[in-house]
Amino acid sequence: MKQKLFKNYGIGVGIRSPHVMQFLNEVPKSIEWGEVVSENYMNWQSGLKPKAFSNLEKMREKLPVALHGVSMNIGSADPIDADYLKRLKELANSIEPIWISDHLCWTGVDGENIHDLIPVPFTKENLKYLSDKILKIQDFLGQRILIENVSSYFEYTNAEMTEWQFIKELTEKADCGILLDINNIYVSSINHSFNPIDFLKSIPLERVGQIHLAGHSVKDGYLIDTHDQPVCEEVWKLFQWTEQNLGFFTSMIERDGNIPDWRELEKEILRAHEIRNGVKSEFAKKITASI
C-alpha cells in the first residue's frame, strides 16, 4: 500500500448539542478526537460569529476536531458557492481542524437547497467535472478535503462504472481524501444487491482519512441512512473486517437523531475500541471502569 496521506487520530465521536457540556467540562477518556457539523459553527451574518463558536473554540483546545459539512453541494451542476467556501475557510482558519470533509453528492440546484444528499451519476464526463471542481475547492481552502460516499436508493441508467470505481478514479484525479462511511456502504449494498467487501477492497487506502460508523432505519423495504439508531451488527462486522484486513483509520460514531445520553452512546464508542484493540483489551477495561 502507498503511504497514507492522513494521520490516524484514533476513535472519536460526532459531537452534537446534547453532549457539548460533557466535552466542555471534561473530555471523556474514551474519546481521542471529535467531529462537528461545519454549518452549525460558520459565520452566517457579516461580522457575527454564532454563539456556539466559543464552545467549539474551547473544545478545540482540548482535543483534535474535524469539520464535516453537508452543504458544499459538490455534485451539483451549480457553480461553486464562493460565499459558502469563504465562510468555511474563515471557520477553518479560526479553529485549525484536522481536516474538512463533505459528501459526494448534490444537495440542490439553482441556489435552492433540498436538504438531502442525492448521489451523482458515475460517468466519465462527471468524473472530469467533479475532479476539476474539487481541485478548485481545495485550491481555495488551501488543503485537501475528504469526500464521503453517501447511501443511495436509486441508480442512474447511464452509469458507466461502479460507485467504488468512480470514487477511486475521482479521488486520484482530484488528489483528495476519502471519508469512508461503512454504514452507507452497507445500506447501498442491500438496496442495490452488491457485496460490500468488493467496495472496501477497491478503495485506495492511502486516501482514506476517516471512517464513519452510524445506524439506519428500514422503510418500505429500503434501508435509509437516518443516523438515529445504534450501529447494527452487520456494520460492526464490516468495521471489524476493515480493521483486520485493511488497517486502522481515524474512526468515529455518528448519531444525529434519537440521541441517547452519553453513557449509552459511549457503549458504542467502547465497542469500536474493543474491535481495534482486541475484545476486552486492557484499554477498554480501564475506560469501562472509569465511567
Which pLDDT tens digit goes with each residue over 5-33? 999 999 999 999 999 999 999 999 999 99
Rounded distance between C-alpha atoms, residue 106 and residue 113, angstroms: 9
Rounded distance between C-alpha atoms, residue 93 and residue 90, angstroms: 5
Amino acid letter for position 26: E
pTM recorded for the entire structure: 0.91
Rounded distance between C-alpha atoms, residue 139 and residue 229, angstroms: 37
Cell of 139: 485550491
Q: What pLDDT score does 263 carry? A: 95
Rounded distance between C-alpha atoms, residue 40 and residue 53, angstroms: 9
- Calculate the alpha carbon distances from 225 to 33, 164, 230, 268 in Å: 23, 18, 12, 18
Nearest to 208 by CA among 239, 163, 248: 248
Q: What pLDDT score does 216 carry? A: 86
Instruction: Judge contact between 181 and 214, C-beta under 8 A.
Output: yes
Nearest to 273 by CA among 228, 238, 239, 229: 239
Q: Which residues of the chain have pLDDT under 50?
A: 279-280, 283-284, 287-288, 291
Q: What pLDDT score does 188 carry? A: 94
Question: What backbone phi and psi angles, to 5 degrees, belong to 181?
Answer: -95, 105
Q: What pLDDT score does 52 carry? A: 87
Torsion of CA 19, 61, 42, 72, to 10 degrees: -90
